[in-house]
Chain A
Amino acid sequence: MIEDFPMQQIINEDGEIVDADALNDISTEKVKSFYYKMLCARMLDKKCVNLQRQGKIGTYVPYEGQEAAQIGSAVALEEGDWIFPTYRDHAATLTFGHSMRNLLLNWRGRPEGNVPPEGVNIFPPGIPIASQLLHATGAAWAEKKHGSDRVSLVYFGDGATSEGDFHEALNFGSVFNIPTIFFNQNNGYAISVPMERQMKTKTIAQKGLAYDMDCLRIDGNDVLAVFAATKASVDRARANQGPTLIEAVTWRYGAHTTADDASKYRDQNESETRRETTDPLLRVQRYLQTQNTWNEDWLKTIEEEITDEIETAIAEMEAYPEPDLRQLFDYVYDRPTWTIQEQVNQHLAVQGEE
């Protein structure tokens, strides 16, 4: 079956062009903008790991290594579309318009972290695995019922395909021809459990066949392949041609979270080797170098720019006002029930606040 799902690439690990036709549709400026976004995401991720070590944010979920999968897919969407991230997809949410400050606030345990800017349709991250896939079909179904051509894209990992909600969502998507892109990031591990223990199939893409759905497997570290495949799927969904399952094969360099030790279940040397081989940024750099549009000076300039942006966002996060008790009580219902109101009053009477 794996032969039926070759891993599609536009540029390979060495930055060489594999699919020249596909590349024709993507300008060098666009490739540079992808590189910029990936660099920004990587620098933010590294910074967040440090912030966690310093105790400035809580347990953090790193995505380093998966920048191409997340950014290539998010840039293929347009205003009015919807994304449904997991907790590891802040490179995608950042790309789709979430504010960096709010992303940081999320890791600082603040509910503002789940609130995207007005007009940007990003759901709070799905925490129970695969549960968000059904919201993605529901929201896109609503767009279709209202006669719009907006679509949804939902992120999930390899482990999520073992959950019932994955299958229920693909089935709904397929039965009702819902404009949803099921975007799988197959990074090889669900915390510690490798793909071969998660499923007997060699690909995730083939699971779409059971739902008579378009399904494809791409090199998730090739941002151009990710962008092109997602864009084509989005265009089809907009044209009412149904959902697509995309398997983007990728790798997380780090542990599952800052509370996890990946060396317990895999050889971390592989991550180090991959940094030199399959890395999503390195291959774009190599490609741009062949086009004479990448050099150390440019890198230095954009690194400074990104550092400023990150430092500003961190300062905003640190200066953010203390949480308000109303966030605990006032958003459970449209209006607090009497039991909640009594609990607020009793709490305040003892705590002596406000």
Chain B
Amino acid sequence: MVSPAVNTKKMTMIEGVRNAMDEMLKENEDVIILGEDIGVNGGVFRATEGLHEKYGEDRIIDTPISESGIIGNSIGLAANGFRPIAEIQFLGFIYPGFNQLMTHATRLRQRSLGRFTVPVVVRAPYGAGVKAPEIHSDSVESLFTHMPGIKVVVPSNAYDAKGLLIASIDDPDPVMFLEPLRCYRSNRTEVPDGKYTIDIGRASVLKQGDDISVFTWGAMVMDTMKAIETLEEEQNMSCEVIDLRTLYPLDKETISASVQKTGRAAIIHEAPATGGVSNDVISLINDTSFLYLRAPIQRVTGFDTPVPVYSLEQEYLPSAAKIQAAIVNAVNF
């Protein structure tokens, strides 16, 4: 995907996110960023570090603590020519802005038969596992996949983050861009200089395999890869691992082709089981690949509980043992 002529640099995911915004701010004057502490402070995770200095306070805008205000103003700005990137400091704080997404951002195009559109990207760090205070660790991606009119993207590494964020900013519709905060600095990938995009709606096959298709996204990609490494060594099995990267619309072709090859599937996510995106993946497999299945589809998910305070979060998150047990269950069914 990366031509040898292009220089690359090893980056963490947070650097990939920042680099994407830098590219787009440079290319298009109508790209602006709104959020809390994103200016001089560079964002609580440093996603916008240096951008305020480089592009000024008219484009890198520190707002009042006002999630509905950030998203609502972004809608007005977008409908009148801008390409706002709205940073919500943690996904767990997006709820005051939920109405603006549900009743306006996602349906203004349809309500006005295309007269007004909302090319807004809402970025939000999310997920558990970093010992954050209460409410900071929610994984509520399916609240947004259930909203007609928005796309939901979740990168897990720097290369994907940059290409997907650029594609999201270019997208004519609202995009919910969820950044698993556990991935921000935990791995580095080669990232090309300049602008490139990764299509929204395309999953990434991280590892080919024959015995089972394992679907996951966000921070669980790292955990799944690690769990599978041990399992393959110990159990002599071959797992295909797919990072979905986009949760709406799902990559129907990649998901169904993989299940039709392996005949088995497991889905790993840290969000609560009931109403989770895993259910949409299961539906998709049911619709496309039912007769190829050789075992019930496995799910390893968070519990139907609020994400707990951090003394209990490792109990909440899918563990390597649970991931391995689910895969073994399916393969030995």
Contacts and interface: CB of A to CB of B under 8 A. Distances in A.
Interface of A: 82, 111-112, 114-116, 123-124, 127-128, 131, 133-143, 145-146, 152, 164-165, 168-169, 171-172, 175, 327, 331-334, 337-339
Contact of B103 (A127, A171, A337, A339): A127
Nearest to A137: B73
A172 B69 contact: yes
Interface string B69-106: 10111111111111000000000000010011001100
A143 to B, nearest CB: 7
B75 A333 contact: no
B68 interface: yes
Given A115-B112, A331-B110, A332-B148, A134 B68 contact: yes
B69 A134 contact: yes
Most B CB contacts (10 A, CB to CB) among A112, A133, A140, A145 go to A145
Contacts of A169: 69, 72
Nearest to A175: B64
21 contacts: A82-B80, A111-B111, A114-B111, A114-B115, A124-B116, A131-B104, A134-B71, A134-B73, A134-B100, A138-B78, A138-B80, A139-B77, A141-B76, A142-B77, A142-B82, A168-B68, A169-B72, A332-B148, A333-B172, A334-B172, A339-B250
Contacts of A152: 76
B112 A172 contact: no
B163 interface: no
Contacts of B64: 168, 171-172, 175
Contacts of B77: 138-139, 141-142, 145
A128 B97 CA distance: 13
A10 B173 CA distance: 47
Nearest to B64: A171
A164 B69 CA distance: 9
A338 B103 contact: no
A135 B113 contact: no
Interface residues of B, number: 46
A165 to B, nearest CB: 6
Contact of B79 (A138, A172, A175, A339): A138
A165 B113 contact: no
B173 A333 contact: yes
Given A141-B77, A169-B72, A338 B109 contact: no
A268 B79 CA distance: 41
A164 B65 CA distance: 12
B99 A131 contact: yes
B114 interface: yes
B63 interface: yes
B73 A334 contact: no
B66 interface: yes
Closest 3 CB pairs of A and B: A138-B76, A134-B72, A142-B80
Q: Could you tell me the dominant secondary structure of chain A's interface residues?
A: helix
Given A169-B72, A334-B117, A143 B80 contact: yes
A116 B111 CA distance: 12
Given A115-B113, A124-B108, A131 B80 contact: no
Given A111-B111, A116-B115, A169-B72, A333 B149 contact: yes
B103 to A, nearest CB: 5
Contacts of B100: 131, 134
B249 interface: yes
Contact of B82 (A123, A136, A145): A145
Given A141-B77, A172-B66, 18 more contacts: A114-B111, A114-B112, A114-B113, A115-B112, A115-B115, A131-B72, A131-B99, A133-B72, A134-B73, A135-B76, A139-B76, A140-B76, A141-B73, A142-B80, A171-B64, A327-B113, A331-B110, A338-B252
B104 A146 contact: no
Given A168-B68, A171-B64, A332-B148, A134 B113 contact: no
A137 B80 CA distance: 11
A337 B81 CA distance: 24
Contacts of B172: 333-334
Interface string B140-167: 0000000011010000000000000000
Interface of B: 32, 58, 63-64, 66, 68-69, 71-82, 96, 99-100, 103-104, 107-117, 148-149, 151, 171-173, 201, 248-250, 252
B103 A128 contact: yes
B72 A124 contact: no
A139 B80 contact: yes
B68 A112 contact: no
Contacts of A334: 109, 117, 171-173
B69 A123 contact: no
B76 A137 contact: yes
Given A169-B69, A332-B149, A134 B111 contact: no
A333 B113 contact: no
Contacts of A139: 76-77, 79-80
A173 B5 CA distance: 48
Given A171-B69, A175-B64, A134 B76 contact: yes
A331 B71 CA distance: 21
B196 to A, nearest CB: 21
A172 B249 contact: no
B322 to A, nearest CB: 30
A142 B68 contact: no
A141 B34 CA distance: 13
Contacts of B63: 172
B110 A138 contact: no
B112 A332 contact: no
B98 to A, nearest CB: 11
A134 B80 contact: no
Contacts of B117: 334
A164 B64 CA distance: 13
Contacts of A131: 72, 99-100, 103-104
A300 to B, nearest CB: 39
Contact of B249 (A133, A165, A337): A337
